[in-house]
Amino acid sequence: TPSFPPNEPPSDAYRLMHGSAALSCDLSRPRLLVSFGWDWLVAHPSHVEAQRAFALLRKRGGERAHIIQVEPRFSVTASKADSWLPIRPGTQGLLALGAAREIISAGRHDASFLRERSLGFAEFAKALEPFTIPRVSKAAGLPERDVRLLCVKLMSMSPALALAGRGPLFDQLAVHALNAVLGGLGKEGLFSSWREPAGPEEAPEGPIDTLLVDRVNPLFTA
């Protein structure tokens, strides 16, 4: 299994599922934010953006957002979350697929988006049949009641966002598939695309007069 820096998004899943890694999500918008193994308050590429999103999730008007951290260790994000699910290492993807199965079985998935904008949904739903709550709970080392409660929250608190870092490909794909099931990739979803950086052949010739930098620190991350 390749090792990636902890601040990278699940770009492998983005490329395989969307044909491009040029995708980003708005952390400040969901009513429910569930992170599967990504310590995003520490590992986000922009600490300023992470703290801004966290403040908005906590202080916006009306009902404040609910944050769930799913990972083996009690990380910084787990300590700040409303709930921490101490999952067995390497089972985040199993839990995500178990949740997707439960949501589809209850008919609470984004059927119109999956019908119009995806390929192979019927095959995907059929492949989820083995990922029952009892089996997933046992594999993940979590009580069944905790897994069922997570599924209920995912179905009842919309919009919901599932986060993952660039870890094992199985986990990346499983968590992002959960976003598709929840409707996070549709027209009013939490994800948006952006133009990937220009390659050397597209770079302008000569000195640049004005450079606009938006929410990134290129000198720090280079």
pLDDT recorded at residue 202: 62
Question: What's the predicted TM-score (pTM) here?
Answer: 0.84
pLDDT recorded at residue 113: 85
Write out residues in the chain with pLDDT < 70, as ranges. 1-6, 60-62, 186-189, 194-204, 221-222
Q: Quote the tokens at residue 63.
A: 């009902």
pLDDT recorded at residue 7: 75
CB 38 within 8 A of CB 67: no
pLDDT recorded at residue 20: 87
pLDDT recorded at residue 60: 66
pLDDT recorded at residue 156: 95
Q: What sections of the chain are H helices per DSSP? A: 11-18, 40-43, 47-59, 76-80, 92-105, 111-117, 121-127, 133-140, 144-156, 169-182, 218-221
Q: Quote the tokens at residue 193.
A: 């695309």
